């Protein structure tokens, strides 16, 4: 009997049709598309801004950027980092239904990176990174939602 209860509980928790434990509700159907969609949009925007930063850093700074070797290095480093971050977030967004806990960890990490970018921008007075705070909010809220929605009941209950 206990084994049967455990099997039923784990089947409910690890369903791949919808985000676990929210099966068959309109909210679940909406969330199963909105959460990945919002995260993919934020990831694409982050990658696009990385490309813009590498092509013309002055666009994001709002003032002419110096073109010395050190500045070029950090601009390119930021650009590559944002492209890798975007690729990781896209991958995590695509795996939300099959591996929501893994996706939540990756998306939460991306949110913390974006939060760090936003904090640096506020500290330096650079208004060009407002999107980082929006992306951070999307990623951190999504990670929190995913972690809450994947909690499963204890097998003995």
> Does residue 29 sit within a domain?
no
Give the tens place of pLDDT for each residue, 33-71.
889 999 999 999 999 988 988 888 777 666 676 778 888
> Does residue 20 sit within a domain?
no
> Does residue 157 sit within a domain?
no
> Does residue 127 sit within a domain?
yes
The reported pLDDT for the residue numbered 67 is 74
> Does residue 43 sit within a domain?
yes
> Does residue 55 sit within a domain?
yes
Identify how many contiguous H helices and E strands the chain contains and give both numbers: 6, 0
Residue 92 domain boundaries = 2-13+35-149
Which whole-number Å values give the CA distances from 43 to 15, 28, 36, 128, in the listed order?
26, 22, 10, 17
> Does residue 130 sit within a domain?
yes
CB atoms within 10 A of CB 105: 15
Domain count, the chain: 1
On average, the pLDDT of the chain sits at 78
> Does residue 73 sit within a domain?
yes
121/16: higher pLDDT: 121
Give the tens place of pLDDT for each residue, 67-114.
788 888 888 898 899 999 999 999 999 998 888 899 999 999 999 999
Two structure tokens written together for 118: 């936003």
Q: What is the mean pLDDT of residues 133-153?
A: 85
């Amino acid at each position: 009997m206990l084994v049967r209860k455990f099997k039923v509980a784990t089947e409910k928790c690890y369903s791949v049709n919808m985000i676990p434990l929210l099966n068959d509700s309109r909210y679940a159907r909406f969330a199963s598309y909105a959460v990945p969609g919002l995260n993919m949009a934020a990831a694409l925007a982050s990658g696009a801004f990385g490309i813009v930063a590498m092509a013309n850093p002055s666009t994001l700074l709002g003032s002419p950027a110096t073109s010395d070797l050190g500045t070029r290095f950090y601009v390119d480093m930021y650009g590559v980092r944002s492209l890798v971050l975007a690729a990781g977030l896209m991958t995590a967004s695509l795996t939300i239904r099959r591996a929501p806990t893994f996706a939540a960890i990756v998306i939460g990490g991306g949110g913390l990176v974006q939060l760090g970018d936003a904090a640096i921008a506020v500290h330096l007075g650079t208004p060009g990174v407002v999107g980082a705070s929006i992306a951070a909010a999307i990623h951190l809220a999504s990670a929190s939602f995913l972690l809450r929605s994947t909690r499963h009941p204890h097998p003995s209950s």
